[in-house]
Amino acid sequence: MREEITFHRIAYIRTDFPDKFGIPRQSGLAKVRGKIIFEEKYRSKEAVRGLDEYTHLWLLWEFSDSAADGWSPTVRPPRLGGNERVGVFATRSPYRPNPIGLSCVRLDAVEINGKLGPVLSVTGADLMDGTPIYDIKPYLPYVDSHPEAEGGFSDKVKEYRLPVIVPDECRELFDSEQMKVLEEVLSQDPRPAYHNDPERIYGMTYAGKEVKFRAEGGKIVVVRCETLKSDRYSSADS
């Protein structure tokens, strides 16, 4: 049995999140839109024939921003306060022996672009802009859905949400769809769980804007938003 196998990046994704801080903790938690761009070798209409008959997809991808950090047999899940350790295989932590992520996204459209070939428009992504994708598989409800399944410690925090306060001057910088996603992401409190300083201001980059916020009184308060001088996540292929 081979101990090593070579994977080839078949695609990458374009999203409004150029940095990992602020990305939804799981796929489907926020209606983050993305476009999957295939590498030139895989830009074949035949390769996606029949894909538009499905509503959801599985994406297998690389924790590219964490791969160099190595792995740990135990990790501290943020939703357990960042202090309690559990086994890495009992979590979806990026610090794994093989830095492979798994996400389920909604397939909105399969578009044929003259330059890029097939482009997949998806919703519910939890991937940073430019994340390498190694495989795409259809979601099959009759085998992939298990309503009776138990979610371990994650069941205790799955309904975790905080109210979000956004000033009008910040709302004016986003369209309605972007604003809804931003509120969804902030309501899940992207801060490390062990941070509890109400005076500390955090910054996340989203949709070409730097969003500054803090947590106080059981809610997330956006304090200011600034348009970035250079749009890091944009590209001619997006």
Q: How do residues 82-131 score in pLDDT, each as one tens digit? A: 678 889 998 888 888 999 999 999 999 999 988 999 999 999 999 999 99
- Is pLDDT above 70 for 19? yes
Q: Are 36 and 137 in contact (CB under 8 A)?
A: no
Q: What is the CA radius of gyration of the chain?
A: 19
Q: Work out the average pLDDT over 65-69.
A: 68
Question: Has residue 1 got a pLDDT over 90?
Answer: no
Which phi-psi region, left, alpha or beta, contains residue 63 (left: φ > 0; alpha: ψ -120 to 50)? beta
What's the pLDDT at 68?
61
237 vs 103, more confident: 103
**pLDDT > 90 fraction of the chain, expressed in percent and rounded:** 64
236 pLDDT tier (thresholds 50, 70, 90) = very low
Average pLDDT over residues 185-206: 87
- Give the confidence band of 230 by pLDDT, cuts at 50, 70, 90: low
How much is the pLDDT for 154?
79
Predicted local confidence at residue 91, as pLDDT: 87
DSSP the chain: --S-------EEEE-S-SSSTTS-SSTTSS--EEEEEE-GGG--GGGGTTGGG-SEEEEEEE-TTTGGG---SEE--GGGTTT--EEGGGS--S-SSS-EEEEEEEEEEEEEETTTEEEEEEES----TT-EEEEEEE--HHHH--TT---GGGGGTTT----EE--HHHHTTS-HHHHHHHHHHHHT--S-TT---TT--EEEEETTEEEEEEEETTEEEEEEEEE-SS-TT--TT-
Q: Under a CB-based contact definition with an 8 Å cutoff, are residues 169 and 227 in contact?
A: no
Q: pLDDT value at position 176? A: 95
Question: What is the average per-residue pLDDT within 67-79?
Answer: 78
Residue 156 above 90 pLDDT?
Answer: no
Pick from 211, 193, 192: which is nearest to 203 by CA? 211
Residue 185 clears pLDDT 50, i.e. is over it: yes
Mean pLDDT value across residues 214-223? 93
Report residue 137 CA to chain centroid gap.
Answer: 18
Q: What whole-number distance in Å separates Cα of residue 94 and Cα of residue 210?
A: 24
Compute the average pLDDT of residues 8-16: 96
Q: What residues pair up with 204 in beta bridges, in sequence order?
A: 211
